[in-house]
Amino acid sequence: MKAIVRTTTVLAFMFVAATGLANENRNGTKVSEVERLTKKETTRPVFKKKGDVLYMNLLNLDLEKVKIRVYDSNYRLVFGEVIKGELVIQKAFNFEKAYEDNYTVVIKDSEGTYKENLEVK
């Protein structure tokens, strides 16, 4: 019985020591701790063109107002929308029945303004 207790104690000690060493890298700093970044991460919209359809996805982490505008080549507003309070904003712009022209999709959020051009032939 004493041998079992002694063996269990030794194994427990070895496990604790190995676990403590496994959480340190070669410099002796802890690797299991989460490092907080002070740099603010910025998100940009992602555009994907498939034929005459333009897909847009935006991760709106601050849940602030996002303005979406579509202009033709004469800077006339073709489409406009304001979205607020949504974390993920997804839009599909269908230009299949649009007139032949160059269109610009403008996304404006709290971090900046982003543009994507699409030519309809």
User: How would DSSP label each residue in 44-97?
Assistant: --EEEEETTEEEEEEE-TT---EEEEEE-TT--EEEEEEE-S-SEEEEEEE-TT
**Residue 25 confidence (pLDDT):** 56
Q: What is the pLDDT along the chain (121 residues), one digit of tens a residue?
A: 667 767 767 666 666 665 555 555 556 655 555 555 555 667 899 999 998 899 999 999 889 999 999 999 999 999 999 999 999 999 999 999 999 999 999 999 988 999 999 999 8
Distances (CA, A) of 88 to 15, 21, 71, 93, 104: 44, 41, 23, 16, 21
**Residue 11 confidence (pLDDT):** 64
**Residue 101 confidence (pLDDT):** 95
* pTM for this prediction: 0.65
